[in-house]
Amino acid sequence: MLVVGLLGSPRKGGNCDLLLDAALEGAREAGARIEKVELARLDVEFCRACNKCFETGECAQEDDMEEVYSLLERADSAILCSPIWFSGLSSPTKTMIDRCQCLWARGEFLGRPLGKGRERRAAFISVAGDEKESFRGAVHVARSFFVAVGFRPVGELLFPGVSEKGDIANVAGALDKAKELGRSIASSGGQ
């Protein structure tokens, strides 16, 4: 079992980093191999909408997304963790999602969907500084991404009102919930 964690925050030791690490630790405790990708540390260009992927299933650009594609192809489960920026996903997260157009095209137009014949689960974790954040837009995009690349969305952990670096450690039960999510997503039953 391979669980891939996609970190969409550039803040080392920040709230998303801590939550994703806890979730991945839970997955490891459940017996999974884990891989963590820090999206902000990769050299990834934005999607240029050239539509080459509709013909080949491959992205015309060659950059660090090759690592992400490989992991998403091999993953049994995935956890996406992004802070909320202006009521949406962070730019490293959204850039990665947009560049996965080629993975969607493989399945939708070329009949080679990722994860065909396997039950692959995914979960979304997010934090927002605004106490009143609904997370509605971010959850919708995260779920759409999971489905497009061959995962079944199985849940979210959403924490509003958390903005200062490391504050999530002071939110009662937050890291424990993330760890349990990781355990759950790595188990045969999902969440």
Please report the pLDDT score of residue 11 as a whole number: 94
pLDDT at res. 189:
44
Alpha-carbon span 140 to 64, nearest angstrom:
26
The residue length of the chain stands at 191
Q: Tell me: the pLDDT tens digits for 59-73?
A: 999 999 999 999 999
Per-residue pLDDT tens for 137-177? 999 999 999 999 999 999 999 999 998 999 999 999 999 99
> What is the CATH code for 2-186?
3.40.50.360
**Token couple for 71:** 């992991």
Given this model, what pLDDT does residue 188 score?
A: 59
| Domain spans of the chain, in order of start | 2-186
Task: For 106-177, list the strands marked E by DSSP.
Answer: 121-127, 152-159
Mean pLDDT of the chain: 93
Q: Cα 95 to the chain's mean position, in Å?
A: 12
